[in-house]
A and B are shown apart, each in its own frame.
Chain A
Amino acid sequence: MSRNGQHDGPGRARRTSRYSAWSLVKNGLGAGSGWERAFRHHTPKETYDVIIIGGGVHGLATAHYLAENHGITDIAVLEKSYIGSGGSGRNTAILRSNYLTPEGVRFYDRSVKLYEHLAADLNFNVMFSQRGHMTLAHNDSSLRTMHWRAEVNKLQGVDSSVIDPAEIKKLVPYMDVSSSTRYPILGALYHPPGGIIRHDAVVWGYARSADAHGVHIHQKTEVVGIDVASNRVTGVRTADGRRISAPVVVNCTAGWSTLISDMVGVDMPVQTFPLQAAVTEPVKPFLDTVVVSGTLHTYVSQTDRGELVFGASVDPFASYSTRGSLDFVEGLAGHVLELMPGLSKMRLLRQWAGLCDMTPDYSPIMGLTPVEGFFVDVGWGTYGFKAGPVSGEAMAACIAHGKPPEIIAAFGLERFDEGRLVGEKGAAAVGH
């Protein structure tokens, strides 16, 4: 990604080179010097049709689908750091659609479907591995929620069912499903199409495709102000002193999104909480499903490289700090060993944190705002990576037609004033 900046002027013709087995062989023989930059550097223009703030999966997917589905290509994506530096490069990459509300299930299912074809659509290997996703129930009330979710899922055509400890043991032989543990496992919600993906590749794939359509991606470009005249957005101001005008500005900044909305005076019920994760040294493959335990506030999956990736619920108080804490790893280790005592000798390699934009109902906020031309695609909390494709597709339609498409109609900002919350806490608080 970081090959030294060749500067191209705007509007260079669409790239024709494709990634393929043949290009791998050819460039492999040439010591790699023949690869083209995946996306180019541009000098910002004075005006664009659409400005997207935030170069995570949501901003880049929105740019891609605006170009691909609606022919809108005069777009700038402004990213204060590097693309994927936010949640999109820090998440634990779990994809699934076994949510709790019909609106949620339909929405996330569309995303999983788009992910299934994403590698071909973007000509980029995103390594989506549909290895199955399992959420454990350790008490009667969570078992009841699992049954509820399974029925809602099935009604929407999503593969999801409740399985018993014997079936769990077959899928994950290393798990302690005995009844002598502190939190015995009573069953699990099993979701075969769920799995994990290479998150960076998704970000880079969308960036490369958007770039090929003529979208400008400006890294190290922080938005510090948004101009509004007669309740209409007119452009943005950047930290390096530029004013870039556009009739449409889209807020895709997740953990920072209230800071952006505050610039135009749009209040959002969003609070920023850190979420931590950790990874172990690599070992041979032994775990080929994603295992989540809400009661133990933990989940684990094994990457293709063999590392175990662990996550948890958000830190207990709002903050913009991404410092890891000892609390977190101690709690994590204890909980993981409850589930898989055999892991006691594993060593953690690394822990990190990212910012999550939490909403009261654990559903996103998408669509129009009271300020004309100012769109939001925020409230992604701990679960928004899986929603990247469907959100990009739906936000692109929303921008092109000036009204939210059916699939995101329930997620408007006005739902909080109207008391129409889309409660997903039971399906999203730990599972991501």
Chain B
Amino acid sequence: MMLLTCPNCGARNVSEFRYVGEAKSRPDPETATPEQWRRYLYFHRNPAGWISETWYHGSGCRRYFGIERNTVDNAQRSAAGTAGATS
């Protein structure tokens, strides 16, 4: 099974986690237009390569964290750009 490295708990089976998606910031609800909201909700980058994303360790520390993952081979490095534990 693929392992994912939680910054708090270390390497765990990927099934312990929930994939949240690309890390991006939410537009300001006071000023965002409907189009901006829809872009934020529906449009995500979908590169074949490295992407910064958010995961949730639901069956562990129950914290959200950022990680960088290569979508082609699922290699990972911490959001700072180090390490390289794979499946």
Residues of chain A at the chain B interface (Cβ within 8 Å): 256, 258-259, 267-272, 316-321, 323, 325-327, 360, 416-417, 419
Contacts and interface: CB of A to CB of B under 8 A. Distances in A.
A325 B2 contact: yes
A323 B44 CA distance: 23
Given A321-B74, A326-B1, A416 B43 contact: yes
A186 to B, nearest CB: 29
Interface stretch (B24-32, B33-41, B77-85): B33-41
Contacts of A416: 38, 42-43
Contacts, number: 53
Contacts of B87: 323
The 4 closest A-B pairs by CB, nearest first: A317-B19, A269-B42, A258-B46, A360-B42
B72 A267 contact: no
Interface of B: 1-2, 14-15, 18-19, 21, 34-35, 38-39, 41-44, 46-48, 71-74, 87
A417 B35 contact: yes
A271 B71 CA distance: 11
A269 B1 contact: no
Given A259-B47, A269-B42, A419-B38, 4 more contacts: A259-B46, A268-B43, A319-B74, A417-B38
12 contacts: A256-B48, A268-B43, A269-B44, A271-B44, A318-B19, A318-B21, A321-B74, A326-B1, A327-B1, A417-B38, A417-B39, A419-B34
A104 B44 CA distance: 24
A416 B48 CA distance: 23
Given A319-B74, A325-B1, A269 B15 contact: no
Contacts of A259: 46-48
A320 B71 contact: yes
A316 B19 contact: yes
Contacts of A256: 48
Nearest to B49: A320
B27 to A, nearest CB: 14
A424 B47 CA distance: 25
B46 A321 contact: no
Contacts of A271: 44, 46
Nearest to B51: A318
Contacts of B14: 316-317
Nearest to A360: B42
A272 B74 CA distance: 13
Nearest to A269: B42
Contact of A318 (B41, B42, B71): B71
B55 to A, nearest CB: 8
B46 A360 contact: no
